[in-house]
Amino acid sequence: MIKSVANARVFQLLSPQDTVVYAIPKYQREYAWTKQEWDELCDDILEEDGSDSGHFLGTIICINRTSNANEENLLELVDGQQRLTTLSILMASIYRFLTDHSDQLDADGRFDLDSLGRQLVLKDPVRLRVRPQIQNSNYDDYLNVLKTSGLNVKAPTVKFLGNRRIMKCYNHFSDRLDQLAGPKSSVKPVLELLGRVKRAILVKLEVESTADAFTLFESLNNRGIPLTPIDIIKNSLLAAADKKRNSGLTAEAVFDQWNALLGDLGDDYKTQERFFRHYYNAFKAELPNVANAPIATRSKLIRIYEKLITTDLENRLEDLLFCGQIYKRIVGNLDSDEPRNSLDEALADLSRVQGAPSEALLLYLMAYQDDHDLTEPMLRSITETLTSFFVRRNLTGDPPTNMLQRLFMSMIDEVSTKAGSEIVDAVKARLKEEASNDKAFYAKLVGPLYNENADVTRYILVSLAKATMTKETYRDLWERDGKHFKWTIEHILPQGLNLPKEWVTMLGGVTQASAIQQQHVHRLGNLTITGYNSTLSNRSFHSKKIRKDAKGNYVGFKNRLPLNDDVVQATEWTAVEIDERTEKMAKQVLKIFPL
């Protein structure tokens, strides 16, 4: 598996006398090191004891991809890109500093400067010694770093160059060199640093194939950014593709398909990981058997996908892409120009009530929609039932979290032999059997609901508001203004510790007011929806009714939402009013979320 092992100094890895170059393949992650790693690398080199031993910087793994040794020796850098890229950026900043202060250099110093330039860029023709991959403009940014340092390279004009990490790294090292050189900009300490960089040691492991590289890569614990299970699944796909190169399936093609899949899943890592768990759980009966993996947990995810990928790469990849397109709809990652219907709104509601554990069931049903004679209205009905289930479940805690995945996997088994309305009925019956009954649900609804689950509480309030809306009075209560919802939960009786004087008087004095606040402030009847206004909560009851924004629009209780009609009509707000409104709203919630 390992072709060669060498303890090499940086000066040898990038020797001015040879034509070895290091290319980072496009499927590698983008440059990810930040100030912490930059400083650790620089400090480690500076703290070297000055002996000839050199500071050990870790391991790099390469595959020899040379096609014409007369032109250059091309090594594909599979591991170590963060360190080697950062080292070359540090060297470029040293090159800039020494060039700017070349009048201080003697003959040896000028020779070192010329050698340093060739360690970064080969001539005739001009070629980079380290070649970052193209993601997030890494390659173009690095070209700009070399050009800025004074080397003779052509660099494209790119937007927001200074906002990305590669140029930030260069500027950071340039500042550190200025500090190191002192007020007189002495080249001596910078030349000493260059000597330490050149003496630093890396272990270079050269392997024969991508498969060998990834196997070795996963077994080493280097200083780079830790790999996630999703990274390792990607690497397993690429390694498997590399083994099948003769079949026409290349690592590059798989990488493009992988990016298409992540485009469907979105940027959120938790969503990506959830998809891979749900895929296995949804289709486990059809997939190759994975020993001791009855359910896909985070700890078993890597082992599961190594088995699935090595067993049948082509079909597995095709199936993942197909299911990724379905999951894109389930999680609401549709493009702005893609049409949405009532099923998409139902799926959005399920997400709002934290119904992610049921996505395996939906993935199965939507993947086999035609085979099981399921119409979109049927899928919407199932999704709405799931929403009712999770409103109840996420307030009562029943069934417990550790039972949810197994519940939905067993439901997949149950409906796999059914079709159409039989499936709808079976899902409803099973969820009713598993969910908390009305009595337990009602007990939570009349308690300190907001403390139980603020997100589900908001969903309940929005649902109550929507139930009384007409086409003429419709408001999108999920609309956002930047990071904030335009419509937010408001505690009618404020939840802050220092109640304003008006509230203390209304509630019967300090002691009584404090007791009422502690017992009632988070109950459903004390909650409503208002326009976002950070200054609303601590005002008097009357002020909160009539509060307006800068444009003259009501953002207090007189915001024309029928949900607030009884609050507006009330002349005072005490425990009596909160009790009455809580009971009324709780009964309405039971009707909106039946099981």
Q: What is the pLDDT of residues 386-407, one digit of tens each?
A: 999 999 999 999 998 889 999 9
* Degrees, nearest 5: CA angle 215-218-220: 110
Other C-beta atoms within 10 Å of 255: how many?
Answer: 18
Residues 431, 449 share a domain? no
Residues 494, 371 share a domain? no
Residues 464, 587 share a domain? yes
Q: What is the pLDDT of residues 430-459, one digit of tens each?
A: 999 999 999 999 999 999 999 889 999 999
Q: What is the pLDDT of residues 293-326, one digit of tens each?
A: 999 988 788 889 989 998 989 899 999 999 999 9
Residues 206, 131 share a domain? yes
224 part of a folded domain: no
146 part of a folded domain: yes
Q: What is the pLDDT of residues 340-362, one digit of tens each?
A: 899 999 999 999 999 999 999 99
Mapped to the 3 state alphabet, what secondary structure does 5-67 carry? Answer: EEEEEHHHHCCCCCCEEEECCCCCCCCCCCHHHHHHHHHHHHCCCCCCCCCEEEEEEEEECCC
Instruction: Give mean pLDDT, residues 206-231.
Output: 66
Residues 131, 86 share a domain? yes
Residues 400, 423 share a domain? yes
User: Is the per-residue pLDDT at 416 higher than 90?
Assistant: yes
Q: How far, rounded to the nearest angstrom, does the alpha carbon of residue 203 sit from its chain's CA centroid? A: 33
Most confident listed range (31-45, 220-234, 468-482):
31-45
Question: So what's the pLDDT on residue 195?
Answer: 93
Q: What is the pLDDT of residues 121-165, one digit of tens each?
A: 998 889 999 999 887 899 999 999 999 999 999 999 998 898 899
Mean pLDDT across the chain: 89
Residues 506, 452 share a domain? yes
- Contacts of residue 349, Cβ cutoff 8 Å, sequence gap at least 6: 383, 384, 387, 459
User: Is the per-residue pLDDT at 77 higher than 70?
Assistant: yes
3 state SS of 541 = helix
Instruction: Give mean pLDDT, residues 581-594.
Output: 96
3 state SS of 389 = helix
Question: So what's the pLDDT on residue 474?
Answer: 85
Question: So what's the pLDDT on residue 223?
Answer: 45
Residues 424, 470 share a domain? no
Domain count, the chain: 3
- Which helix H or strand E contains 115, and what residues bound it? helix 107-120
Question: So what's the pLDDT on residue 582?
Answer: 97
Residues 452, 433 share a domain? no
3 state SS of 487 = strand
Using the 3D structure, point to which of 388, 409, 437 is the last residue of a domain: 437
In the structure, what pLDDT confidence band is assigned to residue 14 with cuts at 50, 70 and 90? very high
Using the 3D structure, point to which of 437, 454, 488 is the last residue of a domain: 437
User: Is the per-residue pLDDT at 506 higher than 90?
Assistant: yes
Lowest mean pLDDT across 5-14, 38-47, 124-133, 535-544: 535-544
Q: Judge contact between 204 and 3, C-beta under 8 A.
A: no
Dist. CA 326–CA 328, nearest whole Å: 5
- Contacts of residue 21, Cβ cutoff 8 Å, sequence gap at least 6: 72, 73, 74, 75, 122, 127, 128, 129, 130, 131
Residues 285, 203 share a domain? no
Q: Judge contact between 293 and 300, C-beta under 8 A.
A: yes
401 part of a folded domain: yes
Question: So what's the pLDDT on residue 79?
Answer: 84
74 part of a folded domain: yes
Task: Supply the range of the domain harboring residue 565.
Answer: 442-592
Residue bearing the bigger pLDDT, 235 or 570 = 570
Residues 326, 209 share a domain? no
Lowest mean pLDDT across 45-49, 74-78, 343-347, 423-427: 45-49
In the structure, what pLDDT confidence band is assigned to residue 47 with cuts at 50, 70 and 90? confident
Question: So what's the pLDDT on residue 305?
Answer: 92
In the structure, what pLDDT confidence band is assigned to residue 50 with cuts at 50, 70 and 90? low
Within 13 Å and on the Cβ side, how many CA atoms surround 440? 14
Residues 308, 248 share a domain? yes
- For the chain, percent of residues with pLDDT exceeding 90: 61
Lowest mean pLDDT across 79-93, 195-209, 223-237, 538-552: 223-237
Q: 73-79 and 127-128: which strand pairing?
A: unpaired
Instruction: Give mean pLDDT, residues 239-262.
Output: 80
Instruction: Give mean pLDDT, residues 272-286.
Output: 96
User: Is the per-residue pLDDT at 206 higher than 50?
Assistant: yes
Residue bearing the bigger pLDDT, 182 or 58 = 182
Residue 447's beta-bridge partner residues?
A: none
- For the chain, percent of residues with pLDDT exceeding 70: 93
In the structure, what pLDDT confidence band is assigned to residue 222 with cuts at 50, 70 and 90? very low
Q: How far, rounded to the nearest angstrom, does the alpha carbon of residue 34 sit from its chain's CA centroid? A: 18
20 part of a folded domain: yes
Using the 3D structure, point to which of 437, 466, 495 is the last residue of a domain: 437
* Degrees, nearest 5: CA angle 467-471-476: 70
Question: So what's the pLDDT on residue 249?
Answer: 76
User: Is the per-residue pLDDT at 483 higher than 90?
Assistant: no
Residue bearing the bigger pLDDT, 53 or 167 = 167
Instruction: Give mean pLDDT, residues 262-280.
Output: 93
Q: Judge contact between 380 and 334, C-beta under 8 A.
A: no
User: Is the per-residue pLDDT at 221 higher than 60?
Assistant: no
513 part of a folded domain: yes
